Chain A
């Protein structure tokens, strides 16, 4: 588009909204905060979520848990792959948003977005394999069938990384939902826009409403009620600083949430292992007597 035509036409701004229970509400508090690019230029007013928004998101995530955890692993894989397909089509939008959010050149931002799309594909492939890697039969010393299988923990609160607004976000979110958990995500405080736009992608990717809930605002303010919430099963503290992480971990102990402590990540593009998958899995072991037929049967 030429300079001239840009001047002629005034663009339409997007009202950024939360993504909760498959819908796009504003914060119930009516608050917003100013989001700027790395040079301080105004980009948007993002919703500043309240405790009530956090609790609503937990309700939505809990409601979605049964269906999502109960879906076949194959089905979840297809849905995650669909997210990658949808993102590929909106690549340009996200390159733009990530460039603004993180002060990156177009080409650096494009690398981030491409790595993010590929990350969805990576986790799409894990849904029906993780049980084969971390589960299995156990040769107990007795006439019993004994099988250990991983199961999702439940509702996981995720503090998205503060610096990597999109790749970092997806790198912590995708493993949580791949295994059948549902998530309440707090977007990067300073750069929440790519996360809020991701909600629009998820809403059109066959991800059932409530599986992913995205909140923007002050991380510490939203994280506190989530860390102490009795219906949250786990918390990923990736986006918390040392002081906040300790506070939240103490609060999380109240109902023994599974806690993933923040770890320094230099390069989010590096290949992820399976730690983020296993962090939010339970292991269930089922016993069943095998009975006995004595020494019957041919050994051939």
Chain B
């Protein structure tokens, strides 16, 4: 993608070996400790978004399968919840360790199925997955110290529906706290990225996890809907779009199901005139191009103070010209493939709308591979708050640049959204960081950094970005009867 300076930045291909992962031609549903076919025999294919190669054929769970899986989870709940916390802890520690041991295999698998760069699955997703299990393992026998009463109780069977952007990490965010607190789980991975969840089933086998404690049901939205609606589910946890989140909220209305939702975002990344420009540029790039921008907490709105707009945009464009887009398995790749044709179409249509409404798109010179789903990093200038690309979540590598003059204006613009998941603040002045952070209606505020995650740190949104927190001590509450 580097144009003029291509020769100076020429890299030899450095592909990670695919041979560390062995993908079977087909996978079943994982119910009660066994891989089984769907009751109606339905299957679907999962493809590699970077090549459109079919990776495997996956059983597609229907209503009967949901019922069976919830039954298995219910049956397993009695014993699992009665285990001493210290024993549950040891199962989770085992899982954490096995994930660490198999992390290269799982990283390659995730990159194949999702399309994100190996650099990210290897250095971000997998270490965070293992750490998440490790962290919640330690809570399993310390719940009485977590501030939820002397003897907090689990809820029962948790129905969990996760997205395709961080398949295994979202699984970890869901399953680790659920099991630590003594719940059992039925989890539906996204239809475009079912493989790592099915490999996780094998991790459970190696860890000797009692059958029925974790059940994995690949499928589409209707599978998720059936799971959420199942009368014997006590807890619903969903990460995904705000539209589906609202559907789920309606579905569980009038029941006793406890609900947590982690939904969309339109994060503001606010750069003040005293910010260190180079550092801010790195943060902006990370904020919107990490995982091709398919991140709910992405910094998709850049709010830059007017006086430094030109300088910042020059630097940013220069930096974007050095990003390497291509084979996700190549260790030098910065930008991988878009997860699906459907998502690519959504990004394309929103970008078209942005241009039609009068914003100015810019992309570095960038050759896209001939097969697979790709979108060049894009930024829009001349964006107003009324533009669709400043309001709707694009969930792609597209940055909308807006400007402000005063901190007040920055805060007002940052909060001018239905969402409230994340925000970024770039300034050398500590008191300004804290003053602005106080005013932002967002669940996570990063200062002079962006997209930082840690199992100890609660994550979740304000407003229509959902409710409930995942991670940290706070993350336990979602799975306890409190």
| A and B are interacting partners | yes
Q: Which residues of A are in contact with B by a Cβ distance under 8 Å?
A: 73-74, 77-78, 81, 118, 121-122, 124-129, 132-133, 143, 145, 274, 288-294, 296-298, 300
* Assembled-state Cα–Cα distance A122/B88 (Å): 12
* Assembled-state Cα–Cα distance A78/B455 (Å): 14
Say whether, besides A121-B93, A298-B412, A300-B463, A293 and B131 are in contact (CB < 8 Å): no
Q: Are A297 and B408 in contact (CB under 8 A)?
A: yes
Known A81-B93, A145-B434; 20 more pairs at CB < 8 Å: A74-B131, A78-B134, A121-B93, A122-B89, A125-B137, A125-B140, A128-B456, A129-B135, A129-B139, A132-B456, A288-B431, A289-B430, A289-B434, A290-B431, A294-B408, A296-B407, A296-B412, A298-B411, A298-B412, A298-B416
Q: Which residues of B are in contact with A by a Cβ distance under 8 Å?
A: 86, 89-90, 93, 131, 134-135, 137-142, 145-147, 407-408, 411-412, 415-416, 429-432, 434-436, 438-441, 455-456, 463, 472-473
Q: Are B431 and A289 in contact (CB under 8 A)?
A: yes
Q: Are B439 and A293 in contact (CB under 8 A)?
A: yes
Q: Are B145 and A125 in contact (CB under 8 A)?
A: no
Shortest Cβ distance from residue A289 to the other chain B in the assembled complex, whole angstroms:
5
* CB-based closest 4 A-B pairs: A125-B138, A291-B431, A296-B408, A291-B435
Can you list 5 A-B pairs, Cβ within 8 angstroms, ordered by A?
A128-B135, A133-B147, A143-B435, A297-B411, A298-B441
Shortest Cβ distance from residue B472 to the other chain A in the assembled complex, whole angstroms:
7
Q: Are A133 and B473 in contact (CB under 8 A)?
A: yes
Shortest Cβ distance from residue B32 to the other chain A in the assembled complex, whole angstroms:
28
Q: Are B411 and A122 in contact (CB under 8 A)?
A: no
Shortest Cβ distance from residue A209 to the other chain B in the assembled complex, whole angstroms:
24
- Determine the chain B residues whose CB is within 8 A of the CB of A289 once the complex forms: 430-431, 434
Say whether, besides A132-B472, A133-B473, A291-B431, A122 and B438 are in contact (CB < 8 Å): no
Q: Are A292 and B435 in contact (CB under 8 A)?
A: yes
Shortest Cβ distance from residue B120 to the other chain A in the assembled complex, whole angstroms:
20
- Determine the chain B residues whose CB is within 8 A of the CB of A293 once the complex forms: 407-408, 411, 435-436, 438-439
- Determine the chain A residues whose CB is within 8 A of the CB of B137 once the complex forms: 125
* Assembled-state Cα–Cα distance A125/B473 (Å): 13
* Assembled-state Cα–Cα distance A73/B137 (Å): 15
* Assembled-state Cα–Cα distance A77/B90 (Å): 14
* Assembled-state Cα–Cα distance A288/B429 (Å): 11
- Determine the chain B residues whose CB is within 8 A of the CB of A291 once the complex forms: 429, 431-432, 434-435
Shortest Cβ distance from residue B200 to the other chain A in the assembled complex, whole angstroms:
20
Residue of B nearest to A288 (CB): B430
Shortest Cβ distance from residue B435 to the other chain A in the assembled complex, whole angstroms:
4
Residue of A nearest to B131 (CB): A74
Shortest Cβ distance from residue B59 to the other chain A in the assembled complex, whole angstroms:
36
Residue of B nearest to A82 (CB): B97
Residue of B nearest to A128 (CB): B456
Residue of B nearest to A130 (CB): B145
Say whether, besides A132-B473, A293-B439, A300 and B138 are in contact (CB < 8 Å): no
- Determine the chain A residues whose CB is within 8 A of the CB of B140 once the complex forms: 125
* Assembled-state Cα–Cα distance A297/B414 (Å): 9
Residue of B nearest to A125 (CB): B138
- Determine the chain B residues whose CB is within 8 A of the CB of A290 once the complex forms: 431, 434-435, 438
Shortest Cβ distance from residue B427 to the other chain A in the assembled complex, whole angstroms:
10
* Assembled-state Cα–Cα distance A296/B131 (Å): 39
* Assembled-state Cα–Cα distance A118/B131 (Å): 20
**Chain B CB within 10 Å — which of A78, A132, A292 has the most?**
A132
**Chain B CB within 10 Å — which of A78, A293, A297, A298 has the most?**
A297
Choose among B86, B432, B436 the residue that contacts A122 (Cβ–Cβ < 8 A). Answer: B86
* Assembled-state Cα–Cα distance A296/B405 (Å): 14
Residue of B nearest to A131 (CB): B456
* Assembled-state Cα–Cα distance A115/B419 (Å): 49
- Determine the chain B residues whose CB is within 8 A of the CB of A121 once the complex forms: 86, 89-90, 93
Q: Are B434 and A288 in contact (CB under 8 A)?
A: yes
- Determine the chain B residues whose CB is within 8 A of the CB of A122 once the complex forms: 86, 89, 141-142
Residue of A nearest to B96 (CB): A81
* Assembled-state Cα–Cα distance A143/B134 (Å): 37
Shortest Cβ distance from residue B453 to the other chain A in the assembled complex, whole angstroms:
13
Shortest Cβ distance from residue B286 to the other chain A in the assembled complex, whole angstroms:
21
* Assembled-state Cα–Cα distance A236/B276 (Å): 48
Say whether, besides A118-B86, A132-B473, A291-B431, A126 and B408 are in contact (CB < 8 Å): no
* Assembled-state Cα–Cα distance A150/B293 (Å): 37
Q: Are A300 and B441 in contact (CB under 8 A)?
A: yes
- Determine the chain A residues whose CB is within 8 A of the CB of B90 once the complex forms: 118, 121
**Chain B CB within 10 Å — which of A124, A125, A127, A296 has the most?**
A125
Residue of A nearest to B409 (CB): A296
Shortest Cβ distance from residue B393 to the other chain A in the assembled complex, whole angstroms:
18
Q: Are A274 and B134 in contact (CB under 8 A)?
A: no
* Assembled-state Cα–Cα distance A56/B432 (Å): 49
- Determine the chain A residues whose CB is within 8 A of the CB of B415 once the complex forms: 297-298, 300
* Assembled-state Cα–Cα distance A195/B51 (Å): 58
Shortest Cβ distance from residue A132 to the other chain B in the assembled complex, whole angstroms:
5
- Determine the chain A residues whose CB is within 8 A of the CB of B146 once the complex forms: 133
Q: Are A296 and B434 in contact (CB under 8 A)?
A: no
* Assembled-state Cα–Cα distance A204/B438 (Å): 47
- Determine the chain B residues whose CB is within 8 A of the CB of A125 once the complex forms: 89, 137-142
Shortest Cβ distance from residue A137 to the other chain B in the assembled complex, whole angstroms:
11
- Determine the chain A residues whose CB is within 8 A of the CB of B86 once the complex forms: 118, 121-122
- Determine the chain A residues whose CB is within 8 A of the CB of B139 once the complex forms: 125, 129
- Determine the chain A residues whose CB is within 8 A of the CB of B147 once the complex forms: 133
Q: Are A129 and B463 in contact (CB under 8 A)?
A: no
- Determine the chain A residues whose CB is within 8 A of the CB of B431 once the complex forms: 288-291
Residue of A nearest to B431 (CB): A291
- Determine the chain B residues whose CB is within 8 A of the CB of A292 once the complex forms: 435
**Chain A CB within 10 Å — which of B139, B146, B431 has the most?**
B431
- Determine the chain A residues whose CB is within 8 A of the CB of B438 once the complex forms: 290, 293
- Determine the chain A residues whose CB is within 8 A of the CB of B463 once the complex forms: 300
* Assembled-state Cα–Cα distance A2/B153 (Å): 52
Q: Are A129 and B435 in contact (CB under 8 A)?
A: no
Shortest Cβ distance from residue B306 to the other chain A in the assembled complex, whole angstroms:
17
- Determine the chain B residues whose CB is within 8 A of the CB of A74 once the complex forms: 131, 134-135, 455-456
* Assembled-state Cα–Cα distance A62/B429 (Å): 36
- Determine the chain A residues whose CB is within 8 A of the CB of B436 once the complex forms: 293
- Determine the chain A residues whose CB is within 8 A of the CB of B439 once the complex forms: 293, 296-297
**Chain B CB within 10 Å — which of A124, A274, A298 has the most?**
A298
Say whether, besides A125-B139, A290-B435, A297 and B145 are in contact (CB < 8 Å): no
Q: Are A129 and B93 in contact (CB under 8 A)?
A: no
- Determine the chain A residues whose CB is within 8 A of the CB of B134 once the complex forms: 74, 77-78, 81
- Determine the chain B residues whose CB is within 8 A of the CB of A78 once the complex forms: 134
* Assembled-state Cα–Cα distance A288/B408 (Å): 21
* Assembled-state Cα–Cα distance A296/B407 (Å): 9
- Determine the chain A residues whose CB is within 8 A of the CB of B131 once the complex forms: 74
Q: Are A129 and B416 in contact (CB under 8 A)?
A: no
Shortest Cβ distance from residue A170 to the other chain B in the assembled complex, whole angstroms:
15
